[in-house]
Every structure is written in structure tokens, then in C-alpha cells.
Structure 1
Amino acid sequence: MSLSLALPSTSLASTRPVSKVVVSPLPLAAMLDHHLRRSSSQDRVLGTLLGIRHEASNEIEVRTSFGVPYQAQGKGSITIDMDHHKALLDLHHKVNPREVVVGWYATHPTLNSFSALIHNFYGSESSPFPAVHLVLDPETLAFASYVSTPVGTTQRADQVAFVPVPTELRVHAQERPGIELVTSNLTSLKSSAATASSDTTIDPSTTIALTTPLATLLTLLEKVSLMLDSVLSYVHKVNLGQIKPNEKVARALLETVGSVPVNAVTSLSKSSSSSSSSSNGNANNASTSFEDEFNAHLADVLMVSYLANVVQTQTEISSRLNLLV
């Protein structure tokens, strides 16, 4: 079943002010992936935004998105695949029932003649709350959010003005390492592409190899080592009285130290309480115990990654065999 949107007179839902729109990296990545898979006849793609509303602050937090097929039918008419929208929405509610429809997105920096019609449809989906329209520029990765307000004496679906809303990207602590890795690779690829375009010949030494999981782990461990050096330097300066101590920093360090595995802390405490003759041996045992525990955890992570790749390969083979049958 599909829904055809034309230009009839339609009453608009009562709007409530939206103070801010907060977007996480996951829906933006899904939008870019959807845009790359679009048809050659389309200059943009659109889809549904899912998230939660904070009634106290009037903020909308966009957490997920999925694409919705559509077909433009001349001037003033567009068809949206309602079955696809409803099916994906029902599946998502089975996993995250708290996330509701908060608006829609389009992968183009400008609005077109269909924006008001599509926004009117998503306004009915998010009623009685206003729908948010998120536009993403796939070239510059810039994005902005809009809400609609009626214009004119008669309330019609096409007589609205899109008012910008403050929008920000919020990256959680768990997502920051992955985002930094992706952005660093993009920066390297852009610099390499600029060098290749400026030169007449391409030097094979300028090509960028894909990073492996172990190389990524090494990079992260090097960053952790630099952070530990910075923390040790700060603690040393505080003990010497060179800088004034900060209670927030001390509390954060206490919480971080408390997250160290119990086995390592127990072994280190035993080694520090022993005599000086056996302290070196106990310290080595503590280090070995912690290293064994870390290696076991790393082996588990690699095994899970291997099994995930096997399942993905099996799924792809099964889908291709089904196409042949």
C-alpha cells in the first residue's frame, strides 16, 4: 500500500515550540548509506526519524533513522511507500518501544516543492507534537533542522514556512573512539585524494591501507598511554604543590581507578605489602596475572568478531542462493 500526497486543503496540527534538536552519529551514518544506495534518477532520499522527546526542556533527541521509498509523480504529487514505513516502524518498536516518530530527513541541503507535503504527513505521524525536518548535505556533511509554521489566512498543507531550530551533534563517550577513528581516516583519504588530483602520476606509497583491528587497538593503547602519562604528571605536580588540586579531577581519577579489575588490584596490593626481596617476584606475578586476564579477554573479543563474520558470510551466501533458486 502506498500513500499519495497531493495539495488538498488540510488542517495542520497545533505546534509546540522545539528548543533544540540533538542528533547522534548513528542516524547520520544511516542517512549517508541510504543516499549512496539511491536511484540514479533521484537527487535525494528521505526517511523517518525516531527518537525521544524531553518535555521538560522541549528538546528532541534523534537516535535512529530508516529510509522510506518514494516516487515523485509530476508537479504537486508524491507517493510514499506506507507499507515499508509501517513495517519498519513496527519492527523498531519491538526492540525500542520508547522511541517514537519525531520527524523525517532528506539528503539535500535545500527544500523543494514536496517538502511541505511530506512534512504534513509526518506531522500527522507525530501528532500532537510537531514534526522535525532534518536536512543533510552529503557533500559537506552539514545538517540542519526545521519545524513548520502555517503561513496565510487559510491553513493548507503547502502554505507553511520552515523555521530553523538549533541543532547539535551529541557523541556519547562509548561512540567517541569510533567517531575519531572514522574522521581520522576520512581526513587521511581527503589529503591523499587532493595529492593525487594535483599530481599527474600517483605514487603507490601515498595509498592508504585499511586499518586492521590490531592496528586500531595499538592506536587506542598508545592514546591511553599518553593519557596515563598526563595523569601521572598532574598527580606529581599536585603532590609537589606546583598546581592547585581540583576536586572534580580527583573524583574522576578515583572512579577510574575503581574500574580496574579486582584481580590486578589484589595482586598489586599483595606485592606492595611483601618484603623487598620478594617484591619484584610478586610484582612480576601480578603483571603476568593481569596480562593473562587481558589476553583472555582479547581472545574472547576476537572470537566474537570471527563468529560475527562467519554468520554474516553465511547469511550473504544464503541470500544469493535464494536468488538463484
Structure 2
Amino acid sequence: MVASTTEQLTALANTTVVVHPLVLLSVTDHHARSLSRNSSKRVVGVLLGQDNGKTINVANSFGIPFEEDEKDSKTWFLDHNYIERMYDMFKKVNARERMIGWYHTGPKLRASDQEINDLFKRYIAKPVMVIIDVRPDTVGIPTDAYYAVEEIKDDGTETRKTFLHVPSAIEAEEAEEIGVEHLLRDIKDSTTTTLATRVSEQLASLQGLQSRLRDVHRYLLDVAAGTLPVNHQIIYHLQDTLNLLPDLADPMTMQSFTSSTNDQLLIVYLSSLIRAVIALHALVD
């Protein structure tokens, strides 16, 4: 594998992997069928779609037979003959969908991922690996996308293989959106109101933010303790993020926050008054 240059790493970092809902449903079904066979191990499959340069469109997928020894990360089996047969059949159905990578249900990176990724290089030069977290308590986007690269050390020592995390998103075409809406309508609790749904979604978003902040906190503690090496790119990104935070010591900023909070509380107060007047009017009638 050719060592990645700074330009190549920058190009990969600017790549966005777009996952369609059909893929999420297919992977979830694959995982559920694995659980029905009393197996709690992760499942592995192939991703199909289009590589549009800066955007990787993951439109379809199929599961493949996979076994591994959880005690020995170097012991695993993947049926590549099955991959070739299934891929030939999928090409007959939709020739636009090419093999672009592979997935597993993690939920985290495993020691054998590099070896499995090398196997997929038989079919595609630059496979994308997407970890899809199928756990029901997952907060936030359930996908993490990676590309395998060789990390060049500043001290000139031997390079090592690692995974570069790239942004991922969930997007759907119009037909998929209609199908997803019908599914959500079937599973939605009819006793909950629109307001309760919005509050629940906002709470889930805040929980996701809290989880990410905890990950950042643990990473910084490990770096400070010397457990992990300093990655200047990550530090730069954190610094850029923190620079976007408002300066709470600035009187003008505090005044703006106070004014905005008072406006919101006034709306809540007026809503309570109107609700009380309507209830009183109904009682009098």
C-alpha cells in the first residue's frame, strides 16, 4: 500500500459518505436474523452505490457469511466466492450500483478490520468501511465511515496502517422518504403529541452532544496522561470548535443571552395565561 501524502489525506477527509435508509433497514434486518440464530456477533456485508468523487453514495447492500473468533482477532472467515456470485446478480438488476466498500455492525473498530479491508481491495482499489450501530439505544447518526491509510510518522520511522474517519450523513430519495414516513407512522406512539415528540427529539440531540463531549474529554485525558500520542490535526479541529463558542465574559454577549431568555420566558408566561383563561371560560360555560 502506498503511503498517503498530505494531499491524499486532505482529499479523503473532505469526502462525505451518504448512506440511504434502505441500507440501514437491510443491515438491521441482517443483524436481527443473526440474533434469531442465537448469535450476538457482528455481521458483515457489502456496500453498493456510486463513487462521485467528494461524495460516496451508498444506495444498497447485501450481507455475506462471516465468522470470527472473538478470542483471537486473527482467526476469521469471509466467503469471497459468495461476494462474487451476489455481486454478479446485483449488477444484472442495477448496473449503476457498483461495489464501493463494506460494512459491519461493530459497534467499534476491531483488530481484524484492516485484514478484512485488504481482502476487499481485490474488488475495489479504495474501499470505504462503514460501521453501522444497530443498537436501539444509539443516540445520533448510527454510521461511522472510514478509509484505510498508511500513517506517515514525523520521525521517519516505519509507517503503520490505520483508519481515517470521514464524515457521513443519512439522505434519502423521494421514494425512500415516502417509505420511511409510512414505517414511522406505523411504529409511532399515537398517545404522544407533536410537542412531546419535538421535546424527545431535542433531548436525544442533547444526549448525543453530551456523548461526543465525553469522548473528547476522554481523548484529551489520554493524551495528557501519555496513553495516546498527540494528533495535531485533532487538536486544531478542537481549537477551531472552541473558538466558535461565545465569550460569556463579554457584557454585550451576556445581555444578548439575557434578552433572548426573557423573550422566551415571556412567550411561556403568555401561553400559560391564555391556557388558564380558556380553561376558566370553559368552566363558566
Please give the per-residue CA displacement for 1:233-273, whole angstroms capped at 9, x wherever unaligned: xxxxxxxxxxxxxxxxxxxxxxxxxxxxxxxxxxxxxxxxx
Q: Distance in 2 between matches of 1:60 and 1:52?
A: 6
2:20/2:170 contact within 8 Å kept: yes
Please give the per-residue CA displacement for 1:202-260, whole angstroms capped at 9, x wherever unaligned: xxxxxxxxxxxxxxxxxxxxxxxxxxxxxxxxxxxxxxxxxxxxxxxxxxxxxxxxxxx
Consecutive unaligned residues in structure 1, runs of 5 or more: 1-10, 192-325
Distance 1:100 1:122, change over 3 A: same
Which residue in the other structure is 2:224 paired with?
A: none
Which residue in the other structure is 1:162 paired with?
A: 163
Regions of 4+ moved over 6 Å: 13-16
Which residue in the other structure is 1:95 paired with?
A: 93
1:72/1:79 contact within 8 Å kept: yes
TM-score normalised by the chain length of structure 1: 0.49
Matched residue type, 1:144: D
- Counterparts of 1:292-307 in structure 2, within 5 Å, are none
**2:32 corresponds to which of 22, 31, 36:** 36
Please give the per-residue CA displacement for 1:77-135, whole angstroms capped at 9, x wherever unaligned: 311111211110010111222221111111122111111111122233211xx211111
Partner-residue secondary structure (3-state), 2:42: coil
Partner-residue secondary structure (3-state), 2:81: helix
2:23/2:61 contact within 8 Å kept: yes
Please give the per-residue CA displacement for 1:254-295, whole angstroms capped at 9, x wherever unaligned: xxxxxxxxxxxxxxxxxxxxxxxxxxxxxxxxxxxxxxxxxx
- Counterparts of 1:36-75 in structure 2, within 5 Å, are 36-38=32-34, 39-55=37-53, 58-73=54-69, 74-75=72-73
Which residue in the other structure is 2:145 paired with?
A: 145
Q: Distance in 2 between matches of 1:134 and 1:75?
A: 19
Report deviation, 1:41: 3.5
Distance 1:26 1:162, change over 3 A: same
* Cα RMSD for the two superposed structures: 2.5
The share of aligned pairs that are identical, in percent, is 29
Which residue in the other structure is 2:263 paired with?
A: none
Distance 1:47 1:184, change over 3 A: same
Which residue in the other structure is 1:105 paired with?
A: 103
Report deviation, 1:190: 11
Report deviation, 1:42: 4.0
- Tell me how many residue pairs correspond in the alignment: 174
Q: Distance in 2 between matches of 1:169 and 1:69?
A: 26
Please give the per-residue CA displacement for 1:13-49, whole angstroms capped at 9, x wherever unaligned: 9767341111111111110000001143442100000
Q: Distance in 2 between matches of 1:32 and 1:63?
A: 15
Distance 1:35 1:149, change over 3 A: same
2:146/2:165 contact within 8 Å kept: yes
Matched residue type, 1:117: E
Distance 1:75 1:173, change over 3 A: closer
- Counterparts of 1:1-325 in structure 2, within 5 Å, are 11=1, 17-18=11-12, 19-38=15-34, 39-55=37-53, 58-73=54-69, 74-127=72-125, 130-139=126-135, 140=138, 142-151=142-151, 153-154=157-158, 159-188=160-189
Q: Which has the larger radius of gyration?
A: 1
Please give the per-residue CA displacement for 1:38-85, whole angstroms capped at 9, x wherever unaligned: 143442100000111113xx2110111000111225341311111211
Q: Distance in 1 between matches of 2:163 and 2:191?
A: 34
